[in-house]
Structure 1
Amino acid sequence: MIVGTVREIKNHEYRVGLTPESARELTSHGHQVLVEQGAGHGIGALDAEYENAGAELVPAAAEVFERAEMIVKVKEPQAVERAMLREGQILYTYLHLAPDPEQTKDLVKSGAICIAYETVTDDDGGLPLLKPMSQVAGRMSIQAGATALEKAQGGRGVLLGGVPGVLPAKVAVIGGGVVGFNAAQMAAGLGADVTILDRNPAVLEKLAIHFESRAKTRFSSVANLADSVADADLVIGAVLIPGAAAPKLVTREMLGTMLPGAVLVDVAIDQGGCFETSKATTHADPTYTVDGIVHYCVANMPGAVCRTSTYALNNVTLPHAMRIANKGWKQALADDPHLLAGLNVWNGKVTYEAVARDLGYDYVPAEEAVA
């Protein structure tokens, strides 16, 4: 199979879909790999490293899209990239379609076979291709929140861990999944006063056992959520409904109960955000203020630590890319129901139920694509 990767063009996105090591894995199995010149420069991967791995360097993304049978990316294709997709071409990347009707419309129109990293599953019911980026984003959310709390950044001027004789900042983490767990780990490690909210008793028990006295757990009822948000210096939104738009848990009204200069970090922004006042921002302009509350809503947080993120991502995406290249997409998906769960758009149809429901498309089960 001819597999291609291109330089990411989203604002301050430096990750790359294939590392030189991943390219070598593919070429060693007889596949042709096309790499846009400079695609890996953001992570310090030189063009010569790709050539040494057996890949062919291509001067422009348009040629990669024209020649490749499968495009491997990191972020959702931008409008100019979507216009280059063709019928029957495989797109393998993060998509996050539920809050993005324009992207969904273009992918449906293209006739491409679109496999989303974020909905591929595993035997434990997890999302293994989302997990490493959730780990990165959860840990980064505390770094970003701590910076935003500085007075010069518009925050309250509070140090997360405090100092002897001065209380630490209060951090509320909404959601006890991978993002929330990693955020809580970082915040607790810095000495913050951490509360984690979740609705699943089993998750709360697991968190309580792990953190012991280093973090508190609280059932995420409407009243408990409102109380925790009102009391917090920093709130981390870490809620995920796989493939679907995130629920708006923190309302505009709640901002009026918060401490002036408190900070909201919405890690769920890729799925539309879990704060009513959230709107996607970029690393170039990461924050804005609503009702005196600082909002950090960068939609590609892991892109800031691109080398770590790229290698963590390739570790989990490459095995599936190899199966698709070795077997062809239809056989690879037919053989693996977990990879089949990643199929979001096929032949002009939406094949992921939550996306179809949220955006008003007729739902076609992914099984029909491989039948």
Structure 2
Amino acid sequence: MTIGVPKEIKNNESRVGMTPGGVFELTKKGHTVNVQSKAGEGSGFFDKNYEKVGAVILNTLEDIYTASEMIVKVKEPIEREYPLIREGQIVFTYFHFASSEPLTKAMIASKSICIAYETVEDEEGTLPLLTPMSEVAGRMAIQQGAKYLEKPVKGRGVLLGGVPGVAPGKVLVLGAGVVGIQAAKMAAGLGAHVTILDINMKRLRYVNDVMPPHVVTEFSNEFNIRKHIKTHDLIIGGVLLKGAKAPNLITRDMLKDMRPGTVIVDVAVDQGGCVETTKPTTHEDPIYIIDDIVHYSVANMPGAVPYTSTMALTNVTLPYVLKLANLGWEKATESDDALRKGVNIIRGEVVYDEIIETFGWN
């Protein structure tokens, strides 16, 4: 099979869909790998590194899409890429269709085979291709939140860890999944007081067992959310519904109950956000302020640490890329239940129920 690795063109996205190590594994099996020139530079991988392991370097985005049977990338295609994707072409990437009807309609129109990293689901119900980026984003959420709590960027002027004689900052984490646990771990490490909410008591028991005493758990409901947003300095949105739009746990009217300069980091932005006032931002212009509340909702947070993120992502995607290349998408998905759940659109037909439900296409 001929595999194409394009340069990501989303704002400030420096990750790449395949490392030279991945190219080596594919070429060793007799596959051809086309890599767009400079695709890996942002992650520290140069054209010469790819050429040494047998990659074919092509100059343009158009060349990659034209010459490749399968596209392996990181972020969802953006508008410039829509017309480049052709019928029957496999596109293996993060799609997050539930957050974008225009993207969904464009991929339907392309009649391509869309396999989404974020809905590949193993027999234990975990999402192996989403987990590493959730780990990165959860940790980064605290890093970014701590920065935007500073007064020069309109935050409350709170140091999360506090100092002797001054209480630490308070962090509210919505969701005890991968993002939430990683965020709680980082915040706790800084010395902040952390409250983590979830509706899954099994997850809350786990958090209670593994976290230090200054991380407390509570059941998630509107009453508890409204109570805590009044006193917490940093709010992390880490809610995930597999393949579907995230629920709005914080509504516009709740902002008035928060103290001016409170920071919201909505990691769920890729799935539409769990805060009603969330809108996607970029690393170039990451925040906006509504009712004196600082919102940080960068849709590709791990793109800011591309070396770490690329290595973490490709560690888990490569086995699936190899299977797709070796067997073709039909045999690969027939033989692998987890990969089959990643198939969202087949030649113009949406086959993932949560997408259909999100847009009311029943």
TM-score, length-normalised on structure 1?
Answer: 0.97
Aligned residue runs from structure 1 range 67-86, under 5 A? 67-86=67-86
- Pairing 1:4–2:4 present: yes
Any gaps of 5 or more consecutive residues in structure 1? Answer: 363-371
Tell me how far apart the structure 1 counterparts of residues 268 and 221 of structure 2 sit (CA, whole Å): 19
Who is 1:325 aligned against?
A: 325
Tell me how far apart the structure 1 counterparts of residues 209 and 99 of structure 2 sit (CA, whole Å): 35
Aligned 8 A contact 1:230 1:254 in 2: no
> How far does the alpha carbon of each residue in 1:9-33 deviate from its partner, in whole angstroms, 9 at most, with x for none?
0000000001111111110111000
Q: Secondary structure at the match of 2:186?
A: helix
> How far does the alpha carbon of each residue in 1:77-121 deviate from its partner, in whole angstroms, 9 at most, with x for none?
011112100110000000000110000000000000000000001
- Pairing 1:49–2:49 present: yes
Tell me how far apart the structure 2 counterparts of residues 76 and 251 of structure 1 sit (CA, whole Å): 27
Tell me how far apart the structure 1 counterparts of residues 120 and 82 of structure 2 sit (CA, whole Å): 21
- Pairing 1:350–2:350 present: yes
> How far does the alpha carbon of each residue in 1:168-213 deviate from its partner, in whole angstroms, 9 at most, with x for none?
0000000000000000000000000100000111111110011141
Q: Which moved more, 1:131-140 or 1:73-82?
A: 73-82
Tell me how far apart the structure 1 counterparts of residues 212 and 187 of structure 2 sit (CA, whole Å): 14
- Pairing 1:228–2:204 present: no
Tell me how far apart the structure 2 counterparts of residues 189 and 124 of structure 1 sit (CA, whole Å): 29
Aligned 8 A contact 1:133 1:309 in 2: yes
Aligned residues: 362
Tell me how far apart the structure 2 counterparts of residues 231 and 132 of structure 1 sit (CA, whole Å): 31
Tell me how far apart the structure 2 counterparts of residues 311 and 318 of structure 1 sit (CA, whole Å): 11
Tell me how far apart the structure 1 counterparts of residues 264 and 47 of structure 2 sit (CA, whole Å): 39
Who is 1:312 aligned against?
A: 312
> How far does the alpha carbon of each residue in 1:103-159 deviate from its partner, in whole angstroms, 9 at most, with x for none?
000000000000000000112110000000000000000001000100011100100
> How far does the alpha carbon of each residue in 1:34-60 deviate from its partner, in whole angstroms, 9 at most, with x for none?
000000010111100000010000011
Aligned residue runs from structure 1 range 52-201, under 5 A? 52-201=52-201
1:360: Cα distance to partner?
3.0
- Pairing 1:32–2:32 present: yes
Aligned 8 A contact 2:4 2:72 in 1: yes
Who is 2:19 aligned against?
A: 19
Tell me how far apart the structure 1 counterparts of residues 231 and 253 of structure 2 sit (CA, whole Å): 15
Tell me how far apart the structure 2 counterparts of residues 83 and 351 of structure 1 sit (CA, whole Å): 22
Aligned 8 A contact 2:188 2:212 in 1: no
Tell me how far apart the structure 2 counterparts of residues 361 and 159 of structure 1 sit (CA, whole Å): 47
1:357: Cα distance to partner?
1.0
Amino acid at match of 1:34: N
> How far does the alpha carbon of each residue in 1:275-317 deviate from its partner, in whole angstroms, 9 at most, with x for none?
0111000000000000000000000000000000000000000
Tell me how far apart the structure 1 counterparts of residues 348 and 122 of structure 2 sit (CA, whole Å): 26
Tell me how far apart the structure 1 counterparts of residues 272 and 164 of structure 2 sit (CA, whole Å): 40
> How far does the alpha carbon of each residue in 1:294-350 deviate from its partner, in whole angstroms, 9 at most, with x for none?
000000000000000000000000000000000010000000111000001111010
Tell me how far apart the structure 1 counterparts of residues 361 and 331 of structure 2 sit (CA, whole Å): 26
Amino acid at match of 1:232: H
Tell me how far apart the structure 1 counterparts of residues 277 and 320 of structure 2 sit (CA, whole Å): 37
Tell me how far apart the structure 2 counterparts of residues 44 and 140 of structure 1 sit (CA, whole Å): 20
Aligned 8 A contact 1:350 1:361 in 2: no
Tell me how far apart the structure 1 counterparts of residues 166 and 76 of structure 2 sit (CA, whole Å): 44
Runs ≥4 residues deviating over 6 A? none
Tell me how far apart the structure 1 counterparts of residues 31 and 244 of structure 2 sit (CA, whole Å): 34
Q: Percent identity?
A: 53
Tell me how far apart the structure 1 counterparts of residues 43 and 86 of structure 2 sit (CA, whole Å): 29
Tell me how far apart the structure 2 counterparts of residues 195 and 79 of structure 1 sit (CA, whole Å): 40
Who is 2:237 aligned against?
A: 237
